[in-house]
Structure 1
Amino acid sequence: MTFELGPALLFCPADRPERFHGALEKADAVIIDLEDAVLPDAKATARSNLLEADLDPDRVIVRVNAPGTEAFDADLAVLSKTRFRTVMVAKTESAESLDAFDDGFALLALCETARGVHAADAIAAHPLVVGMMWGAEDLVASLGGTSSRSSAGAYRDIARYARSRVLLEAGAYGKAAIDAVHIDIDDLDGLAAEAEDAAASGFRATACIHPRQVPVIRAAYRPDDATLGWARAVLAAAEHERGVFRFDGRMVDEPVLRHARSVLARAEGA
């Protein structure tokens, strides 16, 4: 099973069922959140909402609570009664914890603690994992820190390391990588820059927390006309060349052609 959703994945609290359909209409997929977006005394209601949700299961991801918690067990009991089978597992810290799911599920492992990032390679290798996501705020909290970003807005080194490690381990096992949310909702320029970097680096999608962020992410993942034109032209030129060749003053070999194919794939998925 592979991960085909993206590029804009919109979180929606499971205790706000009136928002479910709107979120799904606006984004490429909706993440119905049973975890941090829902207060403890509202989780039972949130699970009931999930049971009653009339949504396309192919475009719904359910974020469950962390493995090993009572809330996680309750989430799984409810999921078994629904058609939703793509699950984001909050605070995944070991591959073994994912054995609680049967073969009918496709898992997105959210590595957002020090232990989770440390175990990212083993988690990515789990056969039910189709994608990996990282999270900055819980990561820094797990380390005893107070902020994932500098005063200038850039991620601190530890957050950049976690982002890179999750992307690398996901890629090593052929799994999709999902970039973390940009929590400053009004900073659309910052979101655009991060999403553009995510797309260029190999992330398959970016999660978001507000509908305003969806078009920004989609635009960032969509190749511009110049890049798309270059990709088509260099691949056309490669049909008449053997091995390494020169194109527009640049050496072109198989890795460059793979870049071009990725550009076309992003355009088709936009």
Structure 2
Amino acid sequence: MSNWIPAGPAILFVPADRPDRFAKAAQRADMIILDLEDGCRPENRAEARRAIIDSQQSGDLDPERVIVRVNPVDSPEHAADLEMLADLRYDLVMLPKAESAAAAESLAGHRVIALIETPLGVLRADDVASADNVVAMFWGAEDLTAGLGGTASRFGEGEADPGTYRDVARHARARVQLAAAAFGRAALDSVHVDISDDDGLRSEALDAAALGYAATVCIHPGQVQTIRDAYRPSDEQIDWARRLLAAASEDGGAFSFEGQMVDAPLFRQAEAIARRADG
């Protein structure tokens, strides 16, 4: 079981070939992902690797709040990414298109956030989560949909529940979270790509928080506060959780609290609320 949890609920992607954005993004978000894959122009990747190395030498970024997204294991860029990782203090690595425990374990010496975004990856999510160095599971709706031959992960205008995920994406989301929970890994929710849809992002982040996700990943700084607000429990929830935990410290074991029997699952819910309040 991994003890890793993200520094906060809002994790922001930053193109690795835009070092001018690194420090500002780190100030805005709880953690940042320096992206060498989709967010980086292919012709800029060598320069981007140097920028990542330079960023740790400058000391502007906290290594515990930095994730480096490398290219997939079958990419011609992956070997150069591994060479770069050998020179880094940043040991949190996001592995895209993860499809096996072996792929994650090939990044020995690094804590791996496995990005599940292919049909095979979804079907093998439990195998990926079982790798000893995997600390979190993250799922990607858009690449998954493309891998299925689809064109949209969400319902559109004129369809049922516009803006919400289609069934196969919901299935993938659930399967990845279940694999994460089964192996004690943190679960990270997928990005909301429509940066103008603040209501949709809020609804999705509220759902993620209620389901036990540790964080939601985002692609624009303007999404950070919406995610933080959604993950923060209400004052009523915080008050309830603290009162329940105080009562538990006195009673121990299963007990009755305000007309409700409290056992281990309810106690853990109260602990989760208290952690989010304190965070």
TM (norm. structure 1) is: 0.95
Structure 1, 169-178 or 68-77: larger mean CA deviation: 68-77
Q: d(CA) in 1 for partners of 2:222 and 2:75?
A: 33
1:181 matched to 2:181? The reply is no
1:125-183: CA deviation from partner (whole Å, max 9, x where unpaired)? 00010001000000011111110000110100111111111111001011101001110
Which of 55, 67, 77 aligns to 1:61? It is: 67
1:218-243: CA deviation from partner (whole Å, max 9, x where unpaired)? 11111110000111122233345575
TM (norm. structure 2) is: 0.92
- Equivalent residue runs for 1:1-270 within 5 Å: 2-5=3-6, 6-53=8-55, 54=58, 55-102=61-108, 104-151=109-156, 152-239=162-249, 241=251, 244-269=254-279
| Cα pair distance change 1:257/1:2, threshold 3 Å | closer
Identity of aligned residues (%): 51
Conserved in 1, the CA contact under 8 Å of 2:105 and 2:132?
no
Report the RMSD for the aligned CA atoms in angstroms. Answer: 1.5
Structure 1, 157-166 or 50-59: larger mean CA deviation: 50-59
1:178-224: CA deviation from partner (whole Å, max 9, x where unpaired)? 00111010111111111111111011011001111111111111111
One-letter amino acid of the counterpart of residue 208, structure 2: A
One-letter amino acid of the counterpart of residue 19, structure 1: R
One-letter amino acid of the counterpart of residue 45, structure 2: K
Q: d(CA) in 2 for partners of 1:100 and 1:240?
A: 47
Structure 2: state its 5+ residue gaps. Answer: 157-161
| Cα pair distance change 1:2/1:72, threshold 3 Å | farther
One-letter amino acid of the counterpart of residue 267, structure 2: L
Q: d(CA) in 2 for partners of 1:99 and 1:133?
A: 17
Q: d(CA) in 2 for partners of 1:45 and 1:16?
A: 10
Shift in Å, 1:72: 1.1
Question: Aligned to 1:146, what secondary structure does the other structure show?
Answer: coil
Conserved in 1, the CA contact under 8 Å of 2:36 and 2:69?
yes
Conserved in 1, the CA contact under 8 Å of 2:205 and 2:230?
yes
Q: How many residues align?
A: 268
One-letter amino acid of the counterpart of residue 267, structure 1: A
One-letter amino acid of the counterpart of residue 89, structure 1: L
| Cα pair distance change 1:242/1:38, threshold 3 Å | closer
| Cα pair distance change 1:82/1:245, threshold 3 Å | closer
